[in-house]
Amino acid sequence: MSIDMANFTPGLSLAGGLMIGAAAAVLVLFNGRIAGISGILGGLLGSSRNDAGWRVAFLTGLLGAPVLASLLSKPISIVVQAGWTEVLLAGFLVGIGTRYASGCTSGHGVCGISRGSVRSFVATATFMASGVLTAYVYRHLLGG
């Protein structure tokens, strides 16, 4: 295995991780809510919109942080080697997975594990194993 040093960004990665952890901690400490993105977005799109303010603010920060990071540092070129059909299918499958797992990787992986939730440990292990298996099948068996 080799590291692509041209795209190796440990500083930005560390800063991003710290920002995610800080956002999750602030949300649970000051709002009593878990920073699960699928739950935050689902609550905003659902029938009860009485708590839309903090949801919109959180999602705005989630989308605004990469924009701010690109303004403060050298922009990173991201190349997605898939067409719109594959991207939409993948998003649909991830959405189904978050419904079955009662949460997404942010809710289970970042917040649930830090709270010691057994359900979150199992869900995160399942997410990771599925990703590893999918990458293996795609790269080694399908020739991707």
Q: Mean pLDDT, to the nearest integer, of 65-83? A: 80
Domain match, 101 and 134 both:
yes
The gap from C-alpha 54 to its chain's centroid, in whole angstroms, comes to: 18
Domain match, 4 and 73 both:
yes
Domain match, 75 and 90 both:
no
Q: Mean pLDDT, to the nearest integer, of 52-68? A: 88
For residue range 86-142, what is the model confidence (pLDDT) as tens digits? Answer: 899 988 888 888 888 888 888 888 888 888 999 999 999 998 998 899 889 988 888
Q: Mean pLDDT, to the nearest integer, of 4-9? A: 76
Q: Cβ(62)–Cβ(37) under 8 Å?
A: yes
Domain match, 71 and 86 both:
no
Please tell me the total count of domains within the chain.
2
Q: For position 84, what pLDDT does the model report?
A: 92
Q: What predicted TM-score, i.e. pTM, was given to this entire model?
A: 0.72
Q: Which domain holds residue 32?
A: 1-79
Q: Name which of 117, 85, 87 is nearest 103 in CA terms.
A: 117
77: DSSP letter: P
Domain match, 19 and 88 both:
no
